[in-house]
Amino acid sequence: MDFTKTLVALGSSIGAREMLKAASSIGLNDALGVVGLERRPSALSRWLPAVGLVTLSAAVGAGIALLLAPSSGTQLRARLSDGIDDAKRRLSPGVDHAETNPSHRHAVS
């Protein structure tokens, strides 16, 4: 018996399987990167960080304004509580929508 042919055939099949595994993990960005191209970022991916930063800055500014405004502790706590309740009320529909529609979280453009 010629074990060399058997070993070559076995090695080829293992190599082919490994090559298929490696090829299946290549994504579009990898293929484009090989030729020096890249995907164009969507408008949402460019604007979302800016909108988030503005929103965060506004929230921090509002909190500082509340803390520095001349009022008694009781009034300040009542205003903070009302503000937090209002924010929860405005954000809950968006949170509920995100929880019930998980497919929108990882959309690929």
What is the distance between the alpha carbons of residues 13 and 6, in angstroms, rounded to a whole number?
A: 11
Distance of CA 9 to the CA centre of its chain: 45
The 10s digit of each residue's pLDDT in 21-50 is 777 777 777 777 778 777 777 777 888 888
Question: Collapsing DSSP states into helix, strand and coil, what is residue 27?
Answer: coil
Q: Are 98 and 104 in contact (CB under 8 A)?
A: yes
Hey, what are 61's tokens?
Answer: 């500014």
Query: What is the chain's pLDDT, residue by residue, as a tens digit (109 residues)?
Result: 566 777 777 777 777 777 777 777 777 777 777 787 777 777 778 888 888 899 999 989 888 887 787 877 788 788 888 888 888 888 888 777 777 776 555 444 4
Spatial CB neighbours of 93, under 8 Å, sequence gap ≥ 6: none
